[in-house]
């Protein structure tokens, strides 16, 4: 009979909103411990979700015999230390994006996973959203023919209000910014859908240069990007443009346009409050007007939630558990996490040098 996987959750922000309910919804995972640096906070979360153990030390959580695996739902600057500690303790890892602060950290996580023969899965959830899966199927069927051009627009108002407080997200050194929050996903789904990226250029900007720090009561500088303009050359020969911003009031939402010599596919959602709910797919062949394409019921979520991120996360958990059962890693794994991180590093380099970066 299939066994239950005891999971410790590291982080109580996104961890409490998405990881804990997603893990508790899956039939093979049991949340047995939760970590927060403040014990009272950890205890409050544990009590609210009926979790047996609350820890204010990662080492203490990893030492619990019930913990066989962990999910890392903390800010990016903590990913490397937590993932490597978990792997050295023999635990499987489900890791939030971006993978780490740089590709060197991501590669160390990958090397430890291989050395300890543990599974590291990345939460690249768009791969598990029905409309995105149907887009992948249509592309594989040759709906658009030979690829000519790809365009991504992801414009949302999440940080448009200058009164949002200064925190780690405002600091480049801690992994803050739109590149890590959004482009880490885009780099993954572009390579999943269209193959390798050959070279890129990037322009990163910060529209709101200062934010109020609640701790000090002063304005603090923001050096993390809130807007990204990326130009990519795909290895297949097609160009790709990516425009991302988290400071756009009444932004367009999240859209992917795919143009080929036989047809066009457009995937998009204008939902600005939930980044998963609302995706639809349109298509056109031979120059006909765009029409909405049905998403087959076989791709539907079994259960949906008020927070749209939970349903695809449950599918990520299922993928993680299956890989653990099989003793293998399949996409999206640490391999894809390293690739996304490498592309993020290249985007920073392209911006700093004002030059194209080759990615052969």
The 10s digit of each residue's pLDDT in 123-155 is 999 999 999 999 999 999 999 999 999 999 999
Rounded mean pLDDT, 107-122: 98
Q: Which of 209, 210, 197, 206 is nearest to 345 (CA)?
A: 197
pLDDT surpasses 70 at 80: yes
Residue carrying structure tokens 């939402």: 253
Dist CA 225 CA 33 (whole Å): 34
DSSP annotation of 126: G
pLDDT of residue 2: 77
Q: pLDDT per residue over 150-205, tens digit each?
A: 999 999 999 999 999 999 999 999 999 999 999 999 999 999 999 999 999 999 99
Average pLDDT over residues 68-86: 98
Please report which confidence band the pLDDT of residue 360 belongs to, taking 50, 70 and 90 as the band edges: confident
The token duo for 303 is 């259960």
What is the reported pLDDT for 66? Answer: 98
On average, the pLDDT of the chain sits at 98
Q: What is the pLDDT of residue 221?
A: 98
Q: Is the pLDDT of residue 1 over 70?
A: no
Instruction: Decide if 92 contacts 72 (C-beta within 8 A).
Output: no
* The model's pTM: 0.97
Position 168 scores a pLDDT of 97
- Percentage of the chain with pLDDT > 70? 100
Q: Give CA 4 to chain center in angstroms.
A: 26
Other Cβ atoms less than 10 A from the Cβ of 261: the count is 9
pLDDT (average), residues 269-290 = 96
Q: Residue range 57-85: average pLDDT?
A: 98
Kindly state the percentage of the chain with pLDDT values over 90.
99
Which two three-digit tokens encode residue 108?
Answer: 């160390």
- pLDDT, tens digit, for every residue of 232-245? 999 999 999 999 99
Query: Is the Cβ–Cβ distance between 163 and 222 less than 8 Å?
Result: no
Q: What is the pLDDT of residue 137?
A: 98
Q: How far apart are CA 45 and CA 224, in angstroms?
A: 30
- Partner residues linked to 180 by β-bridges: none
| Phi then psi dihedrals of residue 7, to 5 deg | -120, 135
pLDDT of residue 325: 97
């Amino acid at each position: 009979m299939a066994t239950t996987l005891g999971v410790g959750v590291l982080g109580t922000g996104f961890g409490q909103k998405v990881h804990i309910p997603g893990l508790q919804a899956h039939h093979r995972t049991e949340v047995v411990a939760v970590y927060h640096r403040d014990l009272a906070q950890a205890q409050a979360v544990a009590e609210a979700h009926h979790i047996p153990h609350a820890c204010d030390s990662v080492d203490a959580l990893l030492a619990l015999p019930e913990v066989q695996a962990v999910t890392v739902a903390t800010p990016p600057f903590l990913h490397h230390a937590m993932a490597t500690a978990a792997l050295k303790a023999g635990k499987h890892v489900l890791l939030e994006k971006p993978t780490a602060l740089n590709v060197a950290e991501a590669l160390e996580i990958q090397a430890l996973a291989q050395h300890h023969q543990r599974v590291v899965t990345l939460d690249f959830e768009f791969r598990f959203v029905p409309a995105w899966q149907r887009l992948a199927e249509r592309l594989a069927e040759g709906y658009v023919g030979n690829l000519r051009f790809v365009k991504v627009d992801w414009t949302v108002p999440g940080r448009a209000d200058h009164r949002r407080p200064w925190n780690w997200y405002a600091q480049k050194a801690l992994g803050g910014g739109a590149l890590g929050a959004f482009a880490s996903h885009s780099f993954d789904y572009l390579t999943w859908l269209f193959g390798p990226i050959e070279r890129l250029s990037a322009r990163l900007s910060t529209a709101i240069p200062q934010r109020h720090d609640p701790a000090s009561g002063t304005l603090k500088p923001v050096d993390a990007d809130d807007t990204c303009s990326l130009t990519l050359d795909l290895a297949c020969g097609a160009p790709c443009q990516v425009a991302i911003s988290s400071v756009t009031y009444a932004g367009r939402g999240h859209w992917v346009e795919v143009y080929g010599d036989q047809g066009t596919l457009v995937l998009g959602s204008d939902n600005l409050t939930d980044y998963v709910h609302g995706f639809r797919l349109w298509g056109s062949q031979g120059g006909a007007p765009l029409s909405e394409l049905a998403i087959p019921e076989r791709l539907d979520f079994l259960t949906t939630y008020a927070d749209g991120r939970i349903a695809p996360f449950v599918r990520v958990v299922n993928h993680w558990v299956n890989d653990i059962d099989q003793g293998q890693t399949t996409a999206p794994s640490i391999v894809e996490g390293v690739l996304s991180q490498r592309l993020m590093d290249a985007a920073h380099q392209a911006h700093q040098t004002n030059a194209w970066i080759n990615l052969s």
